[in-house]
């Protein structure tokens, strides 16, 4: 399971011209599910995401996590994160999780975020989404649990 985290001052997801998710200060998270991923991996990744210290403290150091800055989280599914790009000129998606199971793990991940008390918005799984954001920093990290 892979998460691409971006510290944002705002982010939004639109589907067919309608906004389905929108946040202010917080984290935009692109989530990729791989074959073999399960709820245990989703829970571990969620804990890492929520505790990852990417926000600046009073001294300007990245020492604060999402809850410490009262930030919001926007979670968007993105199977292309798991693409194999090591050979050729076309990505392979053979490592991507099966769509139905991936959707369940995506929903489980979101439920874990909400259970932790974090304000969470989402994209629409499997949809053609238009994502816009203002990356604060820019600050972007990739987290992976195997």
Catalytic residue among 19, 35, 68, 80: 80
Catalytic residue among 6, 12, 27, 78: 78
Catalytic status, residue 80: yes
Catalytic status, residue 100: no
Q: What is the DSSP string of the chain?
A: -EEEEEEEEEEEEEETTEEEEEESSEEEEEEE-BTT--HHHHHHHHHHHHH---EE-TTS-EEE-TGGGT-EEEEEE-GGGG-B-SSSSS-B-TTBPPHHHHHHHHHHHHHHHHHTT--EEE--TTS-EEEEEEEEEEEEEEEE--
Residues that are catalytic:
78-80
């Amino acid at each position: 399971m892979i998460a691409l985290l971006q510290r944002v001052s705002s982010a939004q997801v639109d589907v067919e011209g309608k906004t389905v998710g929108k946040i202010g200060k917080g984290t935009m998270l692109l989530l990729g599910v791989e074959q073999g991923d399960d709820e245990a991996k989703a829970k571990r990744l969620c804990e890492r995401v929520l505790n990852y210290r990417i926000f600046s403290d009073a001294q300007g150091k990245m020492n604060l996590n999402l809850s410490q800055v009262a930030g919001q989280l926007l979670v968007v599914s993105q199977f292309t994160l798991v693409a194999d790009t090591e050979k050729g000129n076309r990505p392979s998606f053979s490592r991507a999780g099966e769509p139905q199971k991936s959707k369940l793990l995506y929903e489980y991940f979101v439920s874990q975020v909400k259970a932790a008390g974090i304000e969470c918005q989402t994209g629409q799984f499997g949809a053609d989404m238009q994502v816009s954001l203002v990356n604060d920093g820019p600050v972007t990290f990739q987290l992976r649990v195997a």
